Amino acid sequence: MTDTTIDALRARTREYLAKNGTHATSATIHARTATAVEALDRLVADVGADRAGRRPAAAEWSLHEIVDHLVETHRPSLDELWCLLAGRRPSGVPIAAGLQSKDPLTRPWSWLVREMKQVHADILEAVRQAPPDLPTIARARVVMVFNREEGAGGTAPVHWEDDIDWKAYVMFLRLHFVDHLNQAKKTLAALDGR
């Protein structure tokens, strides 16, 4: 992928987050995010611990590891969202891409699922309670990650950092929900031999 292609991807991402986040109503942002969260939470709720712990291939995450990643990423994301909603820039460095706990597979599956659902409910509640006219002045630094296609059907991540307002931040989280919902679906389909 050339620098020009990456610059175009950055521009499209900024445009998407501005249109669907910054310039959208808080009610629209809440509704779109809730739909993605509900689909992800519903998919995960129907999977047993044994199946969740199986990897479809050696180099791919199991559903258990995906949910661990969501818990580890969305907990600090909730803290950053609260800062933005309070009109403050979150302190510290951006949340790392690919974040996981020290040993994801040792965490009880039922606990992970419950924790993920609680964090997601807290994110949705924070967005629901945001006043419709809440300013979008405060910014958070985030790591944008997109997978680019490479030869032989493989992918490689493209990373960059950007500063975004609270509405764009919620849409950024929504993209994260959708990305891992799709990953979870592919993981389960691979386990089922589809």
What does the pLDDT look like over 39-72, one tens digit per residue? 999 999 989 999 999 999 998 999 999 999 999 9
pLDDT recorded at residue 1: 60
Structure tokens belonging to residue 167: 């509405």
Decide: 1 and 159 in contact? Cβ < 8 Å.
Answer: no
pTM comes to 0.93
CA distance 148 to 166: 27
Structure tokens belonging to residue 15: 């445009």
As assigned by CATH, the class of the 3-191 domain is: mainly alpha
CA distance 184 to 60: 11
Decide: 69 and 98 in contact? Cβ < 8 Å.
Answer: yes
DSSP at 176: H
Q: 143-166: per-residue pLDDT in tens?
A: 998 877 766 666 777 888 999 999
Q: If you search the block for the tokens 């907990």, which residue do you land on?
A: 75
Decide: 140 and 53 in contact? Cβ < 8 Å.
Answer: no
Backbone φ and ψ for 127, nearest 5 degrees, come out as -70, -40
User: Residue ranges of the domains in the chain?
Assistant: 3-191
Confidence of residue 187 (pLDDT cuts 50, 70, 90): very high
CA distance 89 to 163: 10
